[in-house]
């Protein structure tokens, strides 16, 4: 990679960033695409967020991804939000066009692209475990795609109900929220076409943990999705596999939301298969 005064800048702001796979995934992909860009990790201290965003304009960054803990906090510094970022109240991508900053949220669209890639269609009933940031973006996309019912379970009942109310506020959105329990999960999952783990339970280093202990009651054609990509196969997914259910891990969503980032910032279409190889080779 040869960097000179013509090289265009993109990056990621968050804190901490030491485990982020994004810089490697994006730099290798940009190079493969023959684009003269570099993708820089920018670890920002909380009291410098405003200055950091202003600095993106001063330094003519073309855009940045935004990750934990700034997906909401960054919004007051932006000029405009895309419809999904506005609805979800969270931004994971900022595009800079001559100092005008637009916030996007590519998580939900990345999730939907991964479902399409896996050939998963005609979803009617979904159980979402966890009601945090990722669940918000996914619930939004599922609702506007016309899913009939989204059941949301979280340790915190208020969070689950709040997300359900958000879905119900969307045209044709239908949802219910409740506190997570084995009994309720077992009942709701019996009729689900898709069950999604939107919690960090089971993520490295907590790899022996799982948000649910049994999937014995689900229908044989139910798809089980875990947003976690480290490890690539979680204990939750191994329970699903032991029940002969179709499983999807978080790698495909990670790559698709990353591909959307590059498409929005550069206008070019990134090579999905290559991006997956890069991520798989860098665990
Ligand atoms: P988050 O905002 O912290 O939300 C997680 C939610 O799950 C919280 O509301 C949490 O409740 C709840 N929760 C925790 N344990 C639970 C349990 N046992 N049962 C039910 N609910 C539980 O996190 P996030 O940003 O949405 O991310 C969630 C996961 O998705 C992470 O593992 C993240 O790495 C992954 N992710 C993957 C991708 C991808 O591209 N593949 C993209 C985004 C996120 P409390 O707040 O009460 O703990």
Residue ranges and CATH numbers for the domains of the chain are 8-105+253-280 (3.40.50.10860), 108-249 (3.40.50.720)
**Strand 149-154 relative to strand 100-104, pairing:** unpaired
Listed in sequence order, the residues at least 6 apart from 54 whose beta carbon sits closer than 8 Å to its beta carbon are: 77
Distance 252 CA to ligand 1 centre (A): 17
Note the pLDDT of residue 121: 87
CA-to-CA separations, 34 to 22, 37, 167, 195, 269, in angstroms, rounded: 18, 9, 41, 39, 12
| CB-based contacts of 273-276 (< 8 A; 24+ apart in sequence) | 274/28, 274/29, 274/32, 275/25, 275/29, 276/251, 276/252
Going by pLDDT thresholds of 50, 70 and 90, the confidence category of residue 19 is confident
Instruction: Work out which ligand 1 atom sits closest to the CA atom of 200.
Output: 32
Note the pLDDT of residue 264: 98
Give the residue-averaged pLDDT of 211-218: 96
Note the pLDDT of residue 93: 98
Q: Is 255 in the pocket of ligand 1 (CB under 6 A)?
A: no
Q: What is the DSSP letter of 75?
A: G
The first and second tokens of residue 142, run together, are 């599922």
Instruction: Work out which ligand 1 atom sits closest to the CA atom of 250.
Output: 41
Q: Are 42 and 31 in contact (CB under 8 A)?
A: no
Instruction: Work out which ligand 1 atom sits closest to the CA atom of 68.
Output: 25
Give the residue-averaged pLDDT of 229-242: 96
Overall size of the chain counted in residues: 283
Which residue's CA is the nearest one to ligand 1's atom 9? 132
**pLDDT for 113 beyond 90:** yes
122: exposed, middle or buried (C-beta count within 10 Å: 0-12, 13-18, 19+)? exposed
Q: Are 200 and 228 in contact (CB under 8 A)?
A: yes
- Above pLDDT 70, what percent of the chain? 100
Query: Which among 32, 62, 71, 124 is annotated as catalytic?
Result: 71
Give the residue-averaged pLDDT of 201-225: 96
Note the pLDDT of residue 17: 95
Distance 4 CA to ligand 1 centre (A): 40
Note the pLDDT of residue 221: 96
- Is residue 71 annotated as a catalytic residue, yes or no? yes
**pLDDT for 1 beyond 80:** no
Q: Are 251 and 279 in contact (CB under 8 A)?
A: yes
Going by pLDDT thresholds of 50, 70 and 90, the confidence category of residue 110 is very high
The first and second tokens of residue 170, run together, are 């969307």
């Amino acid at each position: 990679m040869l960097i000179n005064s013509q090289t265009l800048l993109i990056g990621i702001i968050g804190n901490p960033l030491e485990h982020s796979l994004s810089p490697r995934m994006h730099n290798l992909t940009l190079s493969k695409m023959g684009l003269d860009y570099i993708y820089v990790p920018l670890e920002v201290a909380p009291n410098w967020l405003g200055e950091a965003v202003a600095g993106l304009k001063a330094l003519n960054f073309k855009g940045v991804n935004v990750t934990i803990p700034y997906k909401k906090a960054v919004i007051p510094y932006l000029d405009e939000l895309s419809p999904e970022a506005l609805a979800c109240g969270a931004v994971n991508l900022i595009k800079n066009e001559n100092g005008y900053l637009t916030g996007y949220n590519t998580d939900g669209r990345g999730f939907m692209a991964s479902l399409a890639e896996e050939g998963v269609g005609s979803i009617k009933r979904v159980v979402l475990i966890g009601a945090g940031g990722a669940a918000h973006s996914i619930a939004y996309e599922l609702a506007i795609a016309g899913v009939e019912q989204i059941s949301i379970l979280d340790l915190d009942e208020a969070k689950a109900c709040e997300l359900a109310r958000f879905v119900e506020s969307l045209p044709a959105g239908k949802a219910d929220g409740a506190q997570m329990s084995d009994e309720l999960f077992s009942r709701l999952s019996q009729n689900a076409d898709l069950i999604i783990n939107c919690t960090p339970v089971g993520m490295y280093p907590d790899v022996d943990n799982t948000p649910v202990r049994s999937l014995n009651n689900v229908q044989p054609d139910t798809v089980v999705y875990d947003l976690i990509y480290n490890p690539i196969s979680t204990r939750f997914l191994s329970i699903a596999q032991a029940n002969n259910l179709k499983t999807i891990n978080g790698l495909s969503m990670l790559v698709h939301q990353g591909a959307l980032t590059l498409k929005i910032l550069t206008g070019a279409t990134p090579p999905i298969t290559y991006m997956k190889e890069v991520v798989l080779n860098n665990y």
